[in-house]
């Protein structure tokens, strides 16, 4: 039994996308972004009160990167992981965990733009700094996809893999705060991977609320 505890438009989305790509049977328990994640029954699954939590093989996991690595090792036939000894193993691990580098900046921007409910709580300086840091992350992905020798279709030379899912989900969140048009190779890659059925299945369904109430959040300016 595989059961994923999920909130729309959060890091749990990357695990949901992966599960759909793996083609395995699983259940999804969708939680709202509220204090229910702090209740004892959920804290028994995720002690920090965050998503995702994954119930699998009689145990519980609560870190999305670890879940992705474990699932790829559990289902190697899907070809989405790179096991020890594979020539691309080091690159695969690097890009898998780079997703969290991107996500820390989107999380800071989400807190500023979405979670803080009063303008007096928001910091234009933090917003601009985090947006600039996010652009540096996008530039790193752009450079990877545009390396000498020809543009890559995916982050690894061989094929689509779980690192495209992990980084792709982070870029999905980033696209609410930075324009992907500034990064043509990244934008083309993102359009390619976001057209996949697995990505589409990880989005909020019809009538389901997510984190965001608009398509883009520019840096906030102090009202005159």
Q: How far apart are CA 57 and CA 8, in angstroms?
A: 24
The reply to whether 40 and 109 lie within a common domain is no
Predicted pLDDT of residue 208: 84
Number of domains in the chain: 2
Tell me whether residue 158 is in a domain: yes
How far is C-alpha 113 from the chain's CA centre?
Answer: 18
Predicted pLDDT of residue 35: 85
129-176 per-position pLDDT tens digit:
999 999 999 999 999 999 776 578 999 999 999 999 999 999 999 999
Of 146, 147, 148, which is closest to residue 186 (Cα–Cα)?
146
Predicted pLDDT of residue 112: 94
The reply to whether 70 and 153 lie within a common domain is no
Tell me whether residue 176 is in a domain: yes
The reply to whether 138 and 163 lie within a common domain is yes
Tell me whether residue 213 is in a domain: no
Predicted pLDDT of residue 199: 98
The reply to whether 191 and 122 lie within a common domain is yes
CB 6 within 8 A of CB 209: no
The reply to whether 101 and 180 lie within a common domain is yes
From first to last of the 224 residues of the chain, give the pLDDT tens digit: 999 999 999 999 999 999 999 999 999 999 988 888 999 999 999 999 999 999 999 999 999 999 999 999 999 999 999 999 999 999 999 999 999 999 999 999 999 999 988 888 999 999 999 999 999 999 999 999 997 765 789 999 999 999 999 999 999 999 999 999 999 999 999 999 999 999 999 999 887 878 898 999 998 765 54
Long-range contacts for 93-98 (Cβ within 8 Å, ≥24 apart)?
93/69, 95/144, 95/155, 95/156, 95/163, 95/166, 95/167, 96/65, 96/68, 96/69, 96/162, 96/163, 96/166, 97/65, 98/137, 98/140, 98/166, 98/167
Q: How far apart are CA 170 and CA 76, in angstroms?
A: 23
Tell me whether residue 21 is in a domain: yes
Q: How far apart are CA 89 and CA 180, in angstroms?
A: 28
The reply to whether 98 and 149 lie within a common domain is yes
CATH number (domain holding residue 74): 3.40.30.10
Which residues lie across from 6 on neighbouring strands? Answer: 30
CATH number (domain holding residue 104): 1.20.1050.10
Number of Cβ within 10 Å of residue 179's Cβ equals 12
Domain assignment of residue 156, given as a range: 89-196
Which residues lie across from 60 on neighbouring strands? Answer: 55
Tell me whether residue 221 is in a domain: no
Q: How far apart are CA 200 and CA 205, in angstroms?
A: 9
The reply to whether 60 and 132 lie within a common domain is no
Tell me whether residue 206 is in a domain: no
Tokens of 51: 């998503």
The reply to whether 61 and 35 lie within a common domain is yes
Predicted pLDDT of residue 224: 47
């Amino acid at each position: 039994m595989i059961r994923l505890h999920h909130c729309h438009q959060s890091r749990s989305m990357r695990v949901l996308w992966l599960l759909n790509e793996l083609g395995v049977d699983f259940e999804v328990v969708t939680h709202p972004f509220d204090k229910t994640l702090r209740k004892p029954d959920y804290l028994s699954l995720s002690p920090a009160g965050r998503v995702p939590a994954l119930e699998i093989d009689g145990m519980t996991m609560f870190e999305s990167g670890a879940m992705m690595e474990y699932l790829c090792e559990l289902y190697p036939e899907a070809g989405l992981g790179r096991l020890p000894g594979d020539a691309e193993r080091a690159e695969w691990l690097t890009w898998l965990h780079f997703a969290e580098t991107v996500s820390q900046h989107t999380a800071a921007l989400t807190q500023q733009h979405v979670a803080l409910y009063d303008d007096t709580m928001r910091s234009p300086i933090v917003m601009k700094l985090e947006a600039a840091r996010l652009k540096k992350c996008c530039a790193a992905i752009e450079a990877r996809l545009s390396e000498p020798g020809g543009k890559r279709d995916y982050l690894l030379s061989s094929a689509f893999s779980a690192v495209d899912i992990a980084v792709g989900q982070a870029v999905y969140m980033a696209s609410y705060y930075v324009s992907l048009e500034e990064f043509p190779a990244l934008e083309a890659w993102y359009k390619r991977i976001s057209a996949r059925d697995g990505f589409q299945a990880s989005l909020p369904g019809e009538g389901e609320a997510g984190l965001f109430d608009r398509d883009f959040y520019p840096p906030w300016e102090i009202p005159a």
